[in-house]
Amino acid sequence: MSEFLSPWILPGLCALAVLAAALSVALRRSELRRSAEGLAERADARARGSDRARLQHPVIDLDQCIGCGTCVAACPEEGVLAMIHGQAAVVHGARCVGHGRCADACPVGAIALTLGDLSERDDLPALTEDLEAVGIPGLFIAGELGGYALVRTAISQGTVVAEAAARRTPAHRAPGARGRQGGVAVASGDDIPDLLIVGAGPAGIACALRATELGLRCTVIEREPQIGGAVAQYPRGKMVMTQPVRLPLHGTLPRLEYQKEELVDLWGDVVRGHDLDIRTGTLFERVTTLEEGGLAVETSRGTFRARQVCLALGRRGTPRRLGVPGEDHPKVHYSLLDAQSYRDSHLLVVGGGDSAIEAAVGLAAQPGNRVTLSYRKADFFRLKARNEASIRAAEAEGRVRIAFETTVRSIEGDRVELESARHPGQVETLPNDAVFVFAGGVPPFGPLREVGVSFDPSDRPPEQTPEVDRGTGLLLALCFAAALALGVLGFTVSHADYYGLPAAERAASPLHDTLQAKGRIGLTFGVLGVALFLFNLAYLVRRSAALGKWLPGNLRAWMSTHVFTGLAAFFCVLLHAGLAPRDTVGGHAFWALAVVVVTGTIGRYLYAFVPRATNGKELEIDQLRSRIAALSGEWDRDGRGFGGEVRRVVEQLVEEDRATWGRGFVRRIFGILGSKRRLEAAFAVLRDRGRTEGVPADEIRSLLALARRAHRLMLAAAHFAEVRAVLGSWRYLHRWLALLMVLLTGVHVYTAVRFADIDWSVLLGWPGGPQ
C-alpha cells in the first residue's frame, strides 16, 4: 500500500490544502462583503424608518445564533433578515408579515416571532389568551383587527375563538332552529345563535367552520357581496402567501402560495359544502351588551343578537378619504380588482404602500396607460423589496411617473390637480380618466371603544419575551452521547485484557482477530463510524434552502442529531482503531475528527457565552455602556448594600480581564474561559456572604443573575473586537478541519477496500463471500 500512496498522496494533499486555503480566503472575503452590504442596508432602513415593524417581527437571540443563514434563505420577504458579521440580523423589520418560516428553519431555536413594542400602541385592543376583549365577556376579536395580518394566523385565531366559545356554551341547550323575522334575528330563549361572526375573511370563515364542527349554532355577516374579506379585494392574480395550514372541516392547505381567486373559490366551496349561514351585504355598525346577557350587533340589515360575538373585521374598515373636491366622482376608486380593464388611459394612483405600488405597476403594464403615482412623502419606506424594485424599474422605463411630496388638491371630470407638499400653492394639472386611492382605512375602533373595549396598553397581558440564558438547546443530544460514551467505556473495560496490551503484543491475543481494525467487531465499528458521519453531513443538506425540503423534520432536531452523530462517530472510530490510532492516513483522519468534535464543542460554548451585543461593530460601544447604565438602576432597590458589593466584584473582574486578555486566538479562548471561571468562583463567595448577612435566597439569585448580564456586557465592551475575532476564527477552523477529515477518511476507506486484506464475508455474514 505504501507504493500506492507514495507517488501521489503527499502532492495531492498539498494541492488540496492550497485549494482549501484559497477557498477559505474567498469565502471570508465574500462574508465580509455581505456584512458590509447588510450594514449599509440596515443604515438605509433606519434612515427610512423601515427597520422596526409595527406588528409581527422576528426577534433573534444572538446568544444562540450559530450563523448558519437558514433563516435568511427561508424568509420569503426579501430584505427582512441579513447576515451581518456572521450572524443573522433584522434589517427591514417593517417588511415582515409574520410568516414565521425563519423561526421554523432555525436549527437552534434562536428566533421567535413576536409583536413589536406595544407599550405605547393605542391602536390594538387588549385581549386575553382566548382573544376575548378585556372586560367584555363573550366579545372576541380575531385576525388583523387584533394586530395579525397573516392568513395563516387569522385561520388559527378564528379556530381558537370557536373553541373558546364552545367551552362557554351550555351542552344541554335546546336544539331550536335558526329564525329570522324581517331580516332581524329572532332573539328569544335558546333560539339565538351561540356565536355571531362579523366578517367572512379567513378568520371569520375558519371560526364558522370550527364552530360548526363543534356543534355550535353560528351566523356570519359580511359587508361585501362576496366572502373572502381583504383577500377578495386583492388585484386579480395576486399571490397570497399562506404556509401549510389546516382549515377546519376541510383539512390541510398544503401549498405555500395561492392566487387570490384560487383561495376565495376554495373558501366558497367549503362554505357551500357545509351550508354555513352567511349573510353578505350586511354592514356592521356597532355592538352592545344586553342586560339579560349576550350581545347585540347593529347592522345595516337590522339587529342580530347572540350569546357570543367574534369580530373578524380586519383593520382597513372604511377606506380613508382624501377630503378634496370631486372625490365623490364615479371615477374615484379605493381598490383595484382588475388592472386589465384599464387601457389607453391617464391614471392617478395615490399612496406609497405596497397596495398602491402593486396597483401602479399593474396598471402601467397595460397597453397605452400613462400612470402617475402621487405620494406625500419624500421617498418610500416599509415597502416589500420586490415591490420597490418593480416600481423603480417601471419609473426607469418611463411606464410610471412618481410624484413625491405631492397631495391631491382637486378631482374633476377629465383632470386632477396635484399640489406640492414642499411648496404649498404650487399646483400641477394632469389629464385623468381614473383615480385610485390607497390611503389606508379608518379602523372600526370607535364602535369598539363605545362598548368598552380597552385599547390601553396597560390592560394587555405582558409579552413573553424574557431575556434569559436558555442554554444551547442540545441537552438531549449530549445526554445520548454521554450514554453512548458510558457504553463504550463498559465495552473497553469488559475487554481490558485486549485493549490493555501494548499494540505490539495484541496479535497474540485470542481476541485480536475479532477486535483488530479489520476484524469483525473492529471493522463493524469502522463502517458504523463512517455511516454515522455520512448521516452527520446530511445536516448540511437539510440546511440547504434548495435541497432541505427533501428531508423531513425541523432543523432544530437535525442540529441535535448532527451533534450526536458526530460524537457517536468519534467513539466508533476510536474502537475501530483499538483505542490506539496509528501514524497512518486512517490515524490522521481520526485525529482530524477529534479536533472537529472539540472545535464544534468549543464553538457552541462560545456562541452560548458571547452576548448578543457583540454582533457587529455597528452597535457601537456606547450602546453597550448605556445598557450597563440601565442595569445599574436595578441594584440595591431595598438598600441592603449587598447589591453594591456584587457590582464592585463584577467591575473588578472586568478590570482584571482587561489586563490579562491577549490578542492571539488561543489567548482569547483562554481569556474567555478564565473569565467565566473567575466569575463563578466569585459568585460562590458572594452567595456565602449573602447568606451570612441574611439576604433572602431569591434576592441573591436575582442579583447574581443581574451581575451575570452586567459582566457579559462589560466584557463585550472591553473586548469587542477580540470576541468577534474568536467567533469568526472558530467557525473556519471547524469547517476546514472537517473538510480535511472527510478527505482523509475517503483516502483511508479507498485504500482499505482496495488493498487491505479484509474478509468481507466474515463481516457481512455471507456464506461464500464476494470473490
Average pLDDT over residues 357-365: 91
Report pLDDT for 182: 31
pLDDT recorded at residue 766: 46
* Range 414-421 average pLDDT: 91
What is the C-alpha radius of gyration for the chain, rounded to an integer number of angstroms?
33
DSSP 717-763: HHTHHHHHHHHHHHHHHHHHHHHHHHHHHHHHHHHHHHHS---HHHH
Amino acid residing at 295: L
Q: What is the amino acid identity at position 419?
A: E
pLDDT at 21: 59
Residues whose CB falls within 8 Å of the CB of residue 568, separated by 6 or more in sequence, listed in order: 481, 484, 532
- Tell me, rounded to whole angstroms, the distance of Cα 245 from its chain centroid: 17
- Strand ranges (DSSP E) for 328-383? 332-333, 346-350, 370-375
CB 410 within 8 A of CB 404: no
The pLDDT of residue 752 is above 90: no
Across all residues in the chain, what is the average pLDDT?
76
pLDDT of residue 15: 62
Residue 445, pLDDT above cutoff 50: yes
678 or 295, which is more confident: 295
> Which phi and psi (to 5°) does residue 738 adopt?
-65, -40
Region of poorest pLDDT, from 23-32, 272-281, 617-626: 617-626
Q: Which of 440, 337, 352 is nearest to 402 (CA)?
A: 352
Inform me whether the pLDDT recorded for 347 exceeds 50.
yes
pLDDT of residue 367: 92
- Residue 492 is predicted with a pLDDT of 86
pLDDT value of position 220: 93
Do the bridges between strand 56-60 and strand 111-115 make them parallel or antiparallel, or are there none, so unpaired?
Answer: antiparallel
Nearest to 202 by CA among 145, 155, 148: 155
Q: What is the rounded distance in angstroms from the CA atom of residue 307 to the CA atom of residue 251?
A: 28
- On the question of pLDDT at 431 being above 60, the answer is yes
pLDDT tens figures, 474-484: 566 777 878 88
User: Span 450-463, mean pLDDT?
Assistant: 73
Range picked from 102-106, 179-183, 344-348 for highest mean pLDDT = 344-348
Q: Is the dihedral of CA 31, 32, 33, 39 positive or negative?
A: positive
- pLDDT value at position 104? 74
Determine the pLDDT at residue 621.
40
Per-residue pLDDT at 14: 59
* Per-residue pLDDT at 436: 93
263-267, 644-648, 722-726: range with lowest mean pLDDT: 722-726
What average pLDDT score do residues 603-625 get? Answer: 45
Q: Which residue has the higher pLDDT, 231 or 521?
A: 521
Report how far residue 704's alpha carbon sits from residue 723's, in angstroms, rounded to the nearest whole number: 23
Nearest Cα residue to 78 out of 57, 92, 99:
92
Would the pLDDT of 196 be above 50? yes
3-state secondary structure of 79: coil
Q: What is the pLDDT of residues 131-154, one digit of tens each?
A: 898 888 899 999 887 777 678 788
Which of the four pLDDT bands, split at 50, 70 and 90, describes residue 17? low
- For residue range 541-553, list pLDDT tens digits in order: 777 666 766 777 6
pLDDT of res. 716: 60
Q: Is the pLDDT of residue 614 over 80?
A: no
With cell 406640492, the residue in question is 420
Residues 6+ apart with CB under 8 A from 398: none
Inform me whether the pLDDT recorded for 208 exceeds 50. Answer: yes
465: pLDDT confidence band, cut at 50, 70 and 90?
very low
Output helix, strand, coil percentages for the chain, rounded to the nearest 5. 50, 15, 35
534, 515, 520: which is closest to 574 by C-alpha? 515
Question: In this prediction, what percent of the chain has a pLDDT beyond 90?
Answer: 16
Grid coordinates standing for 626? 448605556
pLDDT digits (tens, 9 = 90+) for 242-253: 566 788 888 887
Q: What is the mean pLDDT of residues 184-207?
A: 76
What is the rounded distance in angstroms from the CA atom of residue 355 to the CA atom of residue 439? 9
User: Does the predicted model carry a pTM greater than 0.75?
Assistant: no
pLDDT band at 369 (very low <50, low <70, confident <90, very high): very high
Kind of pairing between the strands at 434-437 and 400-404: unpaired
Would you call 631 helix, strand, or coil by DSSP? helix
Whether residue 178 is predicted with pLDDT greater than 50 in this model: the reply is: no
Determine the Cα–Cα distance for residues 211 and 214; give it in Å rounded to an integer: 5
Among 335, 99, 381, CA closest to 238: 335
Amino acid found at 191: D
Q: What percent of the chain has pLDDT over 70?
A: 71
pLDDT score of 630 = 46
pLDDT given for residue 50 in this prediction: 72
Among 309, 314, 313, 317, which residue's Cα sits nearest to residue 161?
Answer: 309
pLDDT band with cut points at 50, 70 and 90 for residue 205 = very high
In sequence order, the 6+-apart residues with CB closer than 8 A to the CB of 389 are none
pLDDT value of position 309: 94
Mean pLDDT of the region 704-712: 73
Identify the weakest region by mean pLDDT among 99-103, 176-180, 254-258: 176-180
* Confidence at residue 464, expressed as pLDDT on a 0 to 100 scale: 43
Q: How far apart are CA 61 and CA 200, in angstroms?
A: 38
